[in-house]
A and B are shown apart, each in its own frame.
Chain A
Amino acid sequence: DAMVIQNPRYQVTQFGKPVTLSCSQTLNHNVMYWYQQKSSQAPKLLFHYYDKDFNNEADTPDNFQSRRPNTSFCFLDIRSPGLGDAAMYLCATSRDQGTGSEPQHFGDGTRLSIL
């Protein structure tokens, strides 16, 4: 089945130790998104790629970086995780942008814990 896959499902890292979360998709969608979601809060968009075009949200901390080496893969790098970065990180894709009816398809998320 075509899908969005995130690895790992659970990630534990130490305060200040860099961590990378990965996302892959078999949907061949042009757009990939990274969201941060804390308990009982709305998903917060960190950045998105339209193909190779990177779009950073204005309030995304510099501590968060992303890479999209090809259509299928996208990575989220947290350079120096702080306690406030503990959250669920959601990867999503959509076929296109600028098409209102196009839903976003989510992976199962990576729950990040900081020790």
Chain B
Amino acid sequence: GQNIDQPTEMTATEGAIVQINCTYQTSGFNGLFWYQQHAGEAPTFLSYNVLDGLEEKGRFSSFLSRSKGYSYLLLKELQMKDSASYLCASMDSNYQLIWGAGTKLIIKP
């Protein structure tokens, strides 16, 4: 079956670094997406990885290992506005997104 696993909730301190992990099992693979979703709002696109390695975008970086079915989202210099849910989604062989339930990130001052 198809499955995405990510932690339900994480807590971090303002100014610190946090890594949110995601493991995936999908029928075929056409890339891994990370989205940010603030409470009561729509998901917004953060990053896309299809090749192994690290993609850096400002304070956010995303890593992929295809052989391990593993990705992580790294957030640096955390700000209070980064408090949100972070959803991992794998694109399967039919180009459909298989979504995780999201990791709720709580930032404390």
Q: Which residues of A contact B (CB under 8 A)?
A: 40-45, 88, 90, 97-101, 103-109, 111
Contact = CB atoms under 8 A, between A and B. Distances in A.
B99 to A, nearest CB: 4
A104 B34 CA distance: 11
Nearest to A88: B40
Nearest to B96: A45
A43 B99 contact: yes
B4 A107 contact: no
Contacts of A44: 99
B101 A100 contact: no
A101 B102 contact: no
A71 to B, nearest CB: 19
B45 A100 contact: no
Interface of B: 4, 8, 30-31, 33, 40-45, 48, 50, 85, 87, 91, 95-97, 99-102, 104
B33 A90 contact: no
B45 A103 contact: yes
B43 A43 contact: yes
A101 B48 contact: yes
Given A43-B99, A111-B40, 4 more contacts: A40-B8, A104-B45, A106-B42, A108-B42
Contact of A100 (B4, B31, B41, B104): B31
Contact of B42 (A42, A90, A97, A98): A90
Contacts of A42: 4, 87, 99-102
Contacts of A43: 43, 87, 99
Nearest to B101: A42
Nearest to B39: A39
Contacts of A40: 8, 85, 101-102, 104
23 contacts: A40-B85, A40-B104, A42-B4, A42-B99, A42-B100, A43-B43, A43-B87, A45-B96, A88-B40, A97-B95, A100-B30, A100-B91, A100-B95, A101-B48, A101-B50, A103-B33, A104-B45, A106-B42, A106-B43, A106-B44, A107-B42, A108-B42, A109-B41
